[in-house]
Amino acid sequence: MRSPREIINNGNIYVGLVHYPVYDRKGKIVATAVTTVDIHDIARSAKTFDVKGFYVITPLESQGHLVRRLLRHWVQGRGATYNPTRRVALSLVKVAESTERAIGDISRHWNSDVKVVATGARLHRGDIDYHRLKEIMLGSSQPFLVLFGTGWGLTEEVIQNSDYILAPIEGAHYNHLSVRSAAAIILDRLLGRG
Amino acid sequence: MRSPREIINNGNIYVGLVHYPVYDRKGKIVATAVTTVDIHDIARSAKTFDVKGFYVITPLESQGHLVRRLLRHWVQGRGATYNPTRRVALSLVKVAESTERAIGDISRHWNSDVKVVATGARLHRGDIDYHRLKEIMLGSSQPFLVLFGTGWGLTEEVIQNSDYILAPIEGAHYNHLSVRSAAAIILDRLLGRG
């Protein structure tokens, strides 16, 4: 058994935070606004568990611009010396106009297909549990992109088009974690322990 | 083995978010300002894992006032009907002026001593791992208060005065999770799985 302090090699794992297409509170498909605390928190969790890259996925030019400005400040600008731990985490972040663009970027880098993992709060037929997905990731030489939905979650189309649907985090009659908390827990379950 | 979808009985677990005394970036002991996203996120994680109560610990009257106003809006006010999942999570939140006050509150409710668990990013001699603490919590009829530090973390005095020091979340050469993410991961590890 692995030591609990040992991190597995996560060199083939990427995360994507999807701002479109996602559901709003009424089940309508929308593009959500970028929330800076999502980017900081998920970048820190990604860095903690040695994720290879973090795609902020938004088709809205204004939102992409906001993320790039945040990155300039914290990665190259005055923020980088003020808070080096933010710089290190945010260095993982890239902006992509769509999930397809993120997949294309990873695919070119690896010269390989990309396996897409959808996450969410709902149960789906054929979903995969954490232990099994971890085994598959460890045994694969392909890159994986784990998608998290903002708003009220990834659309069914995105979920059904993914290679794996990860089982929801089981709550005690309550399943409304923030995407920041869900990403932290899922990365810990998949990558944090041997 | 327990089913992964089964939540253990967490009826004796409380969490506390400490805003004083904590370190600032320079190692000075300060009182931090309350961050509303901390309260929302940690309340949601606490509700997900069936935690009994969530104490926001701050000696500053202005900050306590801010938290109570937030609770009035989301628990009793217009927010409660706009977003019922926030109401349910924030119903767990109480304000305490100090950790001692929170302990006193829990102690009176249980007519029992309270076991205090300190968390943080640093290694400490004699720290306890997640599996062992979970066993102890499950086997105990006493209440437990798990403390999370804002800013740069709980002071050494708070840590050394606790009953248990939980081992840090092991990172890959990086250990700077947000307190929101750390709380989510720690509650999942302690309470989320059988």
For residue B98, give every residue at least 6 positions away whose Cβ sits within 8 Å of its Cβ, in sequence order, or none: B20, B57, B59
Span B100-148, pLDDT tens digits: 999 999 999 999 999 999 999 999 999 999 999 999 999 999 999 999 9
A171-175, B99-103, B124-128, B165-169 — which is least confidently predicted? Answer: A171-175
- A92 and B CB contact within 8 Å: no
CA of A144, closest CA in chain B: separation in Å?
Answer: 19
- B37 and A CB contact within 8 Å: yes
A142 pLDDT more than 80: yes
Which segments of B21-83 does DSSP mark as H helices, in order?
A: 36-48, 61-71, 78-82
Region B17-28 average pLDDT = 97
CA of A140, closest CA in chain B: separation in Å?
Answer: 20
Cα–Cα distance measured from residue B177 to residue A186, given in angstroms and rounded to the nearest whole number: 14
Q: Do B171 and A48 touch (CB under 8 A)?
A: yes
Q: Which amino acid is at A108?
A: R
Span A18-60, pLDDT tens digits: 999 999 999 999 999 999 999 999 999 999 999 999 999 999 9
Minimum-distance CB partner of A172 among B40, B49, B189: B49
**Model's pTM, two decimal places?**
0.94
Three-state SS annotation for chain A? CCCCCCCCCCCCEEEEEECCCEECCCCCEECCCCCHHHHHHHHHHHHHCCCCEEEEECCCHHHHHHHHHHHHHHHHCHHHHHCHHHHHHHCCEEEECCHHHHHHHHHHHHCCCCEEEECCCCCCCCCECHHHHHHHHHCCCCCEEEEEECCCCECHHHHHHCCEEECCCCCCCCCCCCHHHHHHHHHHHHHHCC
pLDDT band at B83 (very low <50, low <70, confident <90, very high): confident
pLDDT band at A80 (very low <50, low <70, confident <90, very high): confident
B60 SS3 class: coil
Which residue in chain B has the smallest CA separation from A7?
B172
Q: Do A45 and B89 touch (CB under 8 A)?
A: no
Residue B44 with chain A: CB contacts under 8 Å:
174, 176-178, 181
Which residue in chain B has the smallest CA separation from A175?
B48
pLDDT band at A5 (very low <50, low <70, confident <90, very high): very low
How confident is the model at residue A50, as a pLDDT? Answer: 93
Cα–Cα distance measured from residue A57 to residue B184, given in angstroms and rounded to the nearest whole number: 24
Residue B152 with chain A: CB contacts under 8 Å:
none
Would you list the DSSP string of B119-162? --SS--TT-B-HHHHHHHHHH-SS-EEEEEESTT-B-HHHHHHS
Minimum-distance CB partner of A85 among B85, B176, B192: B176
Q: Do B188 and A188 touch (CB under 8 A)?
A: yes
User: Which one of B10, B15, B44, B175 makes the best mutation probe of the A interface by having the most chain A beta carbons within 10 Å?
Assistant: B44
B62 SS3 class: helix
Residue A188 with chain B: CB contacts under 8 Å:
169, 185, 188-189
Which residue in chain A has the smallest CA separation from B173?
A48
How confident is the model at residue A10, as a pLDDT? Answer: 64
Region A64-77 average pLDDT = 94
Q: pLDDT over 70 for what percent of chain B?
A: 94
CA atoms within 13 A on the CB side of B74: 22
Beta strand A53-57 pairing with A29-30: unpaired
B144, B12 Cβ separation under 8 angstroms: yes
Which residue in chain A has the smallest CA separation from B43?
A177
A72 pLDDT more than 90: yes
Which tokens belong to B107? 């102690």
A132 pLDDT more than 50: yes
User: Which one of B39, B45, B82, B152 makes the best mutation probe of the A interface by having the most chain A beta carbons within 10 Å?
Assistant: B45
A136 pLDDT more than 70: yes
For residue B50, give every residue at least 6 positions away whose Cβ sits within 8 Å of its Cβ, in sequence order, or none: A172, A174, B7, B9, B10, B11, B191
A119 pLDDT more than 70: yes
CA of A180, closest CA in chain B: separation in Å?
Answer: 7
Span B9-20, pLDDT tens digits: 568 999 999 999
pLDDT band at B193 (very low <50, low <70, confident <90, very high): low
Cα–Cα distance measured from residue A56 to residue A89, given in angstroms and rounded to the nearest whole number: 13
> Mean of the per-residue pLDDT values for chain A?
92
How confident is the model at residue B77, as a pLDDT? Answer: 87
More confident residue, A144 or B172: A144
Q: pLDDT over 90 for what percent of chain B?
A: 85
How confident is the model at residue B5, as a pLDDT? Answer: 38
Which tokens belong to A24? 């709003």
Q: ∠ CA A186-A192-B2 to the nearest 5 degrees? A: 70
Distance in angstroms between the alpha carbons of the first and the last residue of chain B: 7
Q: Is the peptide bond before A4 cis (omega within 30 degrees of 0)?
A: no
C-beta atoms surrounding A31 within 10 Å: 17
A12, A115 Cβ separation under 8 angstroms: no
Q: What Cα–Cα distance (Å) separates residue A113 from each residue in A100, A103, A140, A148, B160? A: 12, 8, 12, 20, 51
Residue A132 with chain B: CB contacts under 8 Å:
none
Q: Provide the ipTM.
A: 0.93
A4, A55, A63: which is closest to A30 by C-alpha?
Answer: A63
Q: pLDDT over 90 for what percent of chain A?
A: 85
Beta strand B93-96 pairing with B115-118: unpaired
Q: Do A4 and B50 touch (CB under 8 A)?
A: no
How confident is the model at residue A1, as a pLDDT? Answer: 37
Q: ∠ CA A116-A158-A47 to the nearest 5 degrees? A: 45
pLDDT band at A193 (very low <50, low <70, confident <90, very high): low
Residue A130 with chain B: CB contacts under 8 Å:
4
Q: What is the largest CA-CA distance in chain B?
A: 48
Q: How far is CA B8 from the centre of its chain?
A: 18
Span B36-59, pLDDT tens digits: 999 999 999 999 999 999 999 999
